[in-house]
Amino acid sequence: MKNFIYSNTNKRYHTLDYFYKNKFGSKVFKVSLNAGFTCPNIDGTVGFKGCTYCSNLGSGDYAGNKNDDLLEQFEYIKKMLHRKWPESKYIGYFQAHTNTYAPLDVLKEKYEKILAIDNVVGLSIATRCDAISDECIDYLHNLSKTTYLTVELGLQTIHEKTSELINRCHTLECFHDMVLKLREKNINVVVHIINGLPYETKEMMLDTIKYLNNLDIQGVKIHMLHILKNTKMAHDFEKKPFKILSREEYVDIVCDQLELLRPEIVINRITGDPNTNDLVEPNWLIKKFCVLNEIDKELKRRDSYQGIKLKNNIIIIEK
């Protein structure tokens, strides 16, 4: 096949590394931060106890220590990453819990503290669709004029039954409306989805991608469900186990999803990266690079690439 248009390597999908290098002219890495926020799905505003798969670190298992100052967190993580990439620029990644869930003056203080660091070229802010005020959107819009800004919205699935089962506590309509609001202000949107959620079929996972493909989004993070110790999902799984995708099944589903996605959508992540000390299932996720290599091999075997099943921006569904 011809080289994939958004790649300068053997990758047949639009990687974040490729995107950053073309935009900023150098290696860029994210510095994961824990700003000490909570979540409206924990404190009772919309729900209690959070999503059933979420650890007590609020999906920020590789973020800094919330008890440390943000600048200390940034410097500590930056030093570790510099061992691998000594000449780099940085994106401040507000990762743990819900990072727009605070008064605006608090958000400004935390965001702008990171933006003031040398060679920080932008922010990536992980949050929920029900936790961004109109006031916050206006501020983010102004911020996006001076730095590279991305809002990462957790969706996980378009299927309401699954969403209720994992205690997401927001509707698909709420998510859709927030994407529209952010894009009206020209704010970049990256969406998180999870493959392998309890009782979802392959077709259901493909439906989530088909839905996202028709939204004005700039990126996707594809995760494999990982069950962590001391979560509600772990307790539920122990009582009533559900099917866990095998590595081969996951690779097959991801490749099918990539084939359906518009090629300009940046794949910010394509597999999970769990803390091995807390992992219950699936154990094959521990070998992250094996999963990445298998995805590359399967796309090559198919002679396929991201967006191959699109024609004039219409999804071609094989019958």
DSSP letters for 69-96 = -HHHHHHHHHHHHHTT-SSEEEEEEE-S
Listed residue (105, 68, 66, 73) closest to 92, CA to CA = 73
pLDDT of residue 57: 61
pLDDT tens digits for 239-252? 999 999 999 999 99
146 belongs to a structural domain: yes
pLDDT of residue 319: 33
Alpha helices, H only, the chain: 16-24, 70-82, 104-115, 134-144, 160-165, 172-184, 202-213, 232-239, 247-260, 288-302
Structure tokens at 215: 């939204």
pLDDT of residue 313: 44
Alpha-carbon separation of residue 313 from 117, 165, 310 (angstroms) = 40, 33, 6
pLDDT of residue 317: 43
11 belongs to a structural domain: no
pLDDT of residue 311: 65
147 belongs to a structural domain: yes
| Whole-number Å distance between alpha carbons of 124 and 186 | 15
Structure tokens at 292: 């990445």
7 belongs to a structural domain: no
142 belongs to a structural domain: yes
Give pLDDT < 70 ranges for the chain: 1-3, 57-64, 311-319
pTM: 0.94
pLDDT of residue 314: 45
173 belongs to a structural domain: yes
| DSSP tag of 43 | B
pLDDT of residue 316: 44
1 belongs to a structural domain: no
| DSSP tag of 268 | E
152 belongs to a structural domain: yes
| Whole-number Å distance between alpha carbons of 274 and 62 | 9
Indicate which CATH number applies to the domain containing 38.
Answer: 3.20.20.70
What is the domain count for the chain?
1
36: containing domain = 16-314
